[in-house]
Amino acid sequence: MNTSNPQAGHLNALTTRQTRALFGLIVTTLVAAAVACASGSFDISLWALLKGNASALEQSVFNQIRVPRVLLSGLVGASLGLSGAALQGLFRNPLADPGLIGVSAGAALGAALIIVLGSQFAVGATLGAFLLPVAAISGAALVILLLYIMTRGFGYQGVTYMLLVGIAVNALASVGIGVLTYISDDAELRSLTFWSMGSFGGVTWPLLVPALLAITVALLMMAPAARALDLLQLGEVEASRLGVDIVRLRYRVIFSAAAAVGASVSLSGMIGFVGLIVPHLVRLIGGVNHRYLLPGSALAGAGLLISADLLARTLIQPAELPVGLITSAVGSPFFLWLIFRMQKL
């Protein structure tokens, strides 16, 4: 790097502040993950585990319950945070959030269809594990397609337009879920209710694997879009003048957001506001460039949901709160504050 030239590194590198922010987020997320693995209604000594003199019970709680759960909450948080950041960039709308614009609701409807009607299809357990995420991803993709049509190809129509569409989509999806609730039997109703409030409980490795795959692929697909998303903030015409193929960028971001959100919803239900809050916090800490914002939002989302899940299962132990309740409790006042601050828009 040219030292006589302070701007020389600006092309690819993160600023010092952004590097520090990312480093801080990594540390915070790891600490949160370690604490979350150790605590709960049954405390595990990580130190004993490392030394290898933990009891068999501690071992199995750690391997079969805590690690998958923390891994899942981290991954779901990462995909919601990253999808929120990418959608806010793609739509040039600071209020875009997979939940608010109805994408999560579409995924939820897809998943609910399988939870209630899935028993009608005689499929094996392995295939069944894939069926739920596939249905949820399809639901998310359908909603994004609807948004595409409503905004005439994601043209910029003002910040509120897409939120209004989101309200309508959310209402439509809840009609669908309502009908499914009505026709479901007792067992289906139970799992539907628990699932729809958003929870990381009851995760097992076989359930985790398909969604893990979908989420990882989505995260990797999103990463190369960072510069194009930056350029897009100048407007679509300007971005294409600078060499961005807008249509391909849209497909990339939308497909990966649908996959990430769909897979997340299929495993943990609708967890609101993470995709909205996280990118804003990350921007406040270190700036708006997507090469920083995308990884930052993935990390912060992971850290946030791991912590929220830790609270959800320790606040009223041995009982458990739905994690969606906690994120909404934090997120909705934040949303109000955002609206208040953005009155000029």
Interacting residues toward other proteins by CB under 8 A = 2, 5, 7-12, 92-94, 227, 230-231, 233-235, 237-238, 240-245, 283, 287-289
Minimum gap (Å) between residue 261 Cβ and other proteins: 22
d(CA 307, CA 313): 10
**For the stretch 132-160, what's the b/e string if a residue is b when 16 or more beta carbons lie within 10 angstroms of its beta carbon?**
bbbbbbbbbbbbbebbeeeeeebeeeebe
Q: Which is nearer to other proteins, 220 or 242 (CB)?
A: 242
Token pair for residue 290? 């997507």
Q: Which is nearer to other proteins, 7 or 120 (CB)?
A: 7
Q: Please name which of 249, 2, 82, 284 lies closest in space to residue 10, comparing C-alpha atoms.
A: 2
d(CA 84, CA 292): 14
Q: Which is nearer to other proteins, 206 or 235 (CB)?
A: 235
Instruction: Say which amino acid occupies 27.
Output: V
Minimum gap (Å) between residue 28 Cβ and other proteins: 24
Spatial contact of 294 and 223, defined as CB atoms under 8 Å apart = yes
Three-class DSSP labels, 228-269? HHHHHCCCHHHHHHCCCCHHHHHHHHHHHHHHHHHHHHHHHC
Q: Which is nearer to other proteins, 66 or 290 (CB)?
A: 290
Q: Which is nearer to other proteins, 43 or 238 (CB)?
A: 238
